[in-house]
Structure 1
Amino acid sequence: MGWNAALRTVILAVIGNSFMRRLAERYGMKLGANRFVAAEALEETIAKVRKLNASGFLVTLDYLGESVKDPELAKEAAATIGHVIDAIRLERLNANVSVKLTQLGLSIDPVLCVELMRQLCRQAKASNNFVRIDMEDSKVTQLTIDVFKQLLAEFDTKTVGLVIQSYLYRSDTDVDDLGLLGANLRIVKGAYHESVQVVFPRKTDVDRNYLKLAKSHLSNGCYTAIATHDRAIIADLKEFADGMKISKLRYEFQMLYGVAEQLQQELVEEGYRVRIYTPFGKQWYPYFTRRIAERPANMWFVLRQLFVK
C-alpha cells in the first residue's frame, strides 16, 4: 500500500469514528462542509445555482443521502428529488439531478427503488430534464447497472444516465457494454474505500484506465461527462477530442462544488461545457468525509475552521 493510500485509510478511520460524527453533527457547517456542500436547504441552494448559471456553468444537484434502510425514508427522498426537478423547471435553472440508488431503497427493496426511479424519470422527461444515477461502492455496482439498463430501455439517453468508476477493474467491460446502448456516462475515478481485489491500488493505473474509458466512450459517439480535476487528464482529453474532431456539444467537463474553481473558470472561458456537481441537504457527513479522504490536505482546512471565530 502506498503512502497516499495508507493516509487515506487512516483518515477514513478517523472521520468514521462515532465521536467525530457527533462533533460534525454538533458544529455542522462550521467544520468546513460549506466548502463542498452548497447548503442544507433547497432555497439557499437555488440561489447558489443561479450564481453558477450566471457565470456560465451548468449544474447537477445532488440531494445528499444514501444507504436508506426504511422504505418510507426512500419514498421521502424520492419526493424531495421530485421537488428539486420541479424547482429546476419553475426557476428556469440550467441544471439536472444526480441520484444515489441506495437512497431510494436499492439495498432493501430493489423493486421499490426501480419504481421510485421510474417516477423521477417520468417527471424529468416531462420537464425535458435528465437524471444521472450515481455509482456507489462495489457491492451495488451490478445492481446499479441492472437498474440503469431497465430504465434506459423504458426511457432514453436524454432522460437517464449513469456513472462509471475508473478504479474498478470491471469498468473496461462495462463501458464497452454500455457504449453499445449509447449510454450517457459520467466517468469518475472513484471515492469509496475498496479492496484491492476489485480496484486498481495504484493511482497511475486508475489514471491510465480513466483515459482509456473516456477515450473509448467518446470514440463510440456517446455523450461523455469527463468528471475530474486532474489538469493532465483534462489536457489529454481535450487534445484527443480535437484530434478526433469531436464536437464540444458531445461532451462536458464536470467538477465538484468548491473544488478547482480556477480550472472551472478557465474551461468555461475556453468555450467548454462545465457542469458543477452541487450537493445539498442535511445528510452531508458521508459526502464530506469522502472529499477529505480524496485529498488529505482538506483535513487541515477542516481543522482550521474549528478555530475560526
Structure 2
Amino acid sequence: MSRSFFLFLSKNKALNKSAKKWGLRLGASKVVAGVTIDEAITSIQRLNELGLKATIDHLGEFVTEREEAENAASACLDILEAIERNHVDAHISVKLTKLGLDISREMCLEHLYRILDTARQHGNFINIDMEDYAHYHETIDLVLELRKTYDNVGTVMQSYVRSGLEDIERLKGIPLRIVKGAYQEDSAAVYQDKETIDEVFLEMVKNHLKSGSYTAVATHDDSLIRAIQTFVQDHNVPRDQFEFQMLYGFRHELQLSLAEQGWPFRTYVPFGQDWYGYFMRRLAERPQNVTFALRGMLSK
C-alpha cells in the first residue's frame, strides 16, 4: 500500500463521514488522544508529569459550512480555558481552513482575533498549522498580518515546498515549527525525494536559528535530530530558543529520552471526532505506521 494511496484516502469525504461514526477504531486511538477536550487534557497531564510539554490540535480541516467554522472557533476558546483551568503546559495548533478560510477570509480573521485575544489574556500561544499547497501563500500572508498586532502567534514551514528556503526569510523573528510536509502535491510545487527534503529541512532549521528566531524542530528522524543537536551545541544556541517536537503516540521512548537528557520537548497532541484525514496522513508517511495501525485494530 503506497503513500499516494493513503493520501488519496485522506481526502475521501464519504470515508471521513463514516469514520466519525466508527470512533477511534482502526488503530487511531494509538495516535489520537481521545475525542473530547477532557480526554485530551488527561493525556496532556500524563505527558507533563513525564516532562513533556504539549501542543493541542482539535482535528478537522477544509470546512465549508459557516456554522462548523464558528463551532471550531468556539472549541479553540474552550480549549484555552481548559488549559488555564487545569494548569497544563500546552498551547494550541489551529488550521485556517477549519476556522473558515475557504468560506471567508474576513470571518477566519475574526475567529483568529478572538482566539488570539483570549490566548494573550492567558499568556498562551497559538501556532497556525500549514496545510496543503493551495493555502500555503495565503497562510504566510495572514501570519504576517497577524504579527503586526499579536506576538503570540507563529506558524509552520514545510521543507518539501520548493520555495521554502526563500519564504522563511520573510518570517525571521516569528516562531516557526519546521516539518517535512505530509500532503500529496504536484512536483512543480514540492520536492519528491527524501534526500532533498531532509537537506532543506536542516537548512531551514539552521537558518531560522541563526537569525535568533524561535524554532520547533518537528521530526522523528534520528539523523536529523543528531544533526540539530550538534549544530546548537557548536553554535551555542540557547535551549530556550528551540525545542524538539514529535507526534503523540509515536516514538514515545525517544520523546522521554530527549526530555530526560534536558532537551526542550513538546508533543503534538491531536484529538476530536474528525480524526480520519490526520490518521490517513500518518499512515502515508512511513510504511511501519501501517503495521502500527494493524496492531491497534487487532488489540480491540
TM-score band by shorter chain is over 0.9
RMSD over equivalenced CA pairs, Å: 1.6
**Is the Cα–Cα contact under 8 Å of residues 11 and 296 in structure 1 kept in the other structure?**
no
> Which structure is richer in relative contact order (CA contacts within 8 A, separation 6 or more)?
2
1:4-153 → structure 2 map (5 Å cutoff): 7-14=2-9, 21=16, 24-153=19-148
Deviation at 1:107, TM superposition (A): 1.1
**Is the Cα–Cα contact under 8 Å of residues 130 and 157 in structure 2 kept in the other structure?**
yes
Deviation at 1:73, TM superposition (A): 1.1
The aligned amino acid for 1:103 is K
The aligned amino acid for 2:257 is E
Residues 1:246 and 2:246 aligned together: no
Residues 1:161 and 2:157 aligned together: no
Residue 256 (structure 1) aligns with: 247
> Do the aligned partners of residues 240 and 40 (structure 1) sit closer, same or farther apart at CA in structure 2, a change above 3 Å counting?
same
**Is the Cα–Cα contact under 8 Å of residues 132 and 163 in structure 1 kept in the other structure?**
yes
The aligned amino acid for 2:236 is K
> Do the aligned partners of residues 194 and 304 (structure 1) sit closer, same or farther apart at CA in structure 2, a change above 3 Å counting?
same
Deviation at 1:305, TM superposition (A): 3.7
Residue 290 (structure 1) aligns with: 281
The aligned amino acid for 2:134 is K
Residue 3 (structure 1) aligns with: none
Residues 1:196 and 2:191 aligned together: no
- Distance in 2 (CA, whole Å) between partners of 1:45 and 1:110 is 29
Residue 270 (structure 1) aligns with: 261
- Distance in 1 (CA, whole Å) between partners of 2:125 and 2:162 is 28
Deviation at 1:115, TM superposition (A): 1.0
Per-residue CA deviation, residues 273-294 of structure 1 (Å, 9 max, x unaligned), is 1000000110000101110001
Residues 1:171 and 2:172 aligned together: no
Deviation at 1:7, TM superposition (A): 1.9
Deviation at 1:18, TM superposition (A): 6.6
SS in 1 for 2:245: strand
> Do the aligned partners of residues 111 and 267 (structure 1) sit closer, same or farther apart at CA in structure 2, a change above 3 Å counting?
same
SS in 2 for 1:249: coil
- Distance in 2 (CA, whole Å) between partners of 1:24 and 1:303 is 16
Residue 211 (structure 2) aligns with: 220
- Distance in 2 (CA, whole Å) between partners of 1:307 and 1:19 is 24
SS in 2 for 1:221: coil
**Is the Cα–Cα contact under 8 Å of residues 65 and 284 in structure 1 kept in the other structure?**
yes
Aligned residues: 300
- Distance in 2 (CA, whole Å) between partners of 1:138 and 1:14 is 18
Q: Which runs of 4+ in 1 moved over 6 A?
A: none
Identity %: 40
Deviation at 1:15, TM superposition (A): 5.7
SS in 2 for 1:116: helix
> Do the aligned partners of residues 272 and 10 (structure 1) sit closer, same or farther apart at CA in structure 2, a change above 3 Å counting?
same
- Distance in 2 (CA, whole Å) between partners of 1:67 and 1:23 is 17
Deviation at 1:108, TM superposition (A): 1.4
Deviation at 1:27, TM superposition (A): 3.4
> Do the aligned partners of residues 22 and 86 (structure 1) sit closer, same or farther apart at CA in structure 2, a change above 3 Å counting?
closer
Deviation at 1:269, TM superposition (A): 1.1
SS in 1 for 2:240: helix
- Distance in 2 (CA, whole Å) between partners of 1:202 and 1:224 is 24
**Is the Cα–Cα contact under 8 Å of residues 24 and 31 in structure 1 kept in the other structure?**
no
SS in 2 for 1:136: coil
Deviation at 1:266, TM superposition (A): 1.2
The aligned amino acid for 2:271 is F
Residue 223 (structure 2) aligns with: 232
Deviation at 1:302, TM superposition (A): 2.5
> Do the aligned partners of residues 134 and 14 (structure 1) sit closer, same or farther apart at CA in structure 2, a change above 3 Å counting?
closer
**Is the Cα–Cα contact under 8 Å of residues 66 and 102 in structure 1 kept in the other structure?**
yes
> Do the aligned partners of residues 31 and 23 (structure 1) sit closer, same or farther apart at CA in structure 2, a change above 3 Å counting?
farther
